[in-house]
Amino acid sequence: MTKEHKDLKDLMTKRHPNGGGLVSSTAYVADTAYVGPDAQVLGYAAVSERARIEDKAIVSGRARVAGDAVLRGAAHAYQHAFIGSNALLEDYSEVFGKAVVAGNVTVCGKAQVGGHCHLSGRLIVY
């Protein structure tokens, strides 16, 4: 496969049957997950279980969202981030690098969580 062909394949998207959001051909979204009409799952990202990507939230790169996690507003999970359990990302928050956000953690406002940070338990980061 030529580089041009691969780049074209990465740009191809489809609408997810549960919510109608955009999913790139290289990403994985479970049938049980929700991707809202204005949300996007791009690159090699994965959204599984009952996770919800709402509003204008984006999951990209090789980020993973699982469990009952929710991204909403203009939240963005990217690179190798993992969002799981009952975690909530909202507003303009970002989780990136190899960061893990799980448990009952809420990341909101314009908060950024990155690097090798691991957040769990009952926390609010803003």
Can you tell me the mean pLDDT for 32-54? 98
- Cα–Cα distances in angstroms (integers) from residue 5 to residues 8, 116, 118, in the given order: 5, 34, 37
pTM of the model: 0.91
Tell me the pLDDT band of 4, cut-offs 50, 70 and 90.
very low
- Sheet order of strands, 124-125 included: 34-35, 52-53, 70-71, 88-89, 106-107, 124-125
The CATH code of the domain at 3-125 is 2.160.10
Instruction: Give the pLDDT confidence of 62-116 residue by residue, as tens digits.
Output: 999 999 999 999 999 999 999 999 999 999 999 999 999 999 999 999 999 999 9
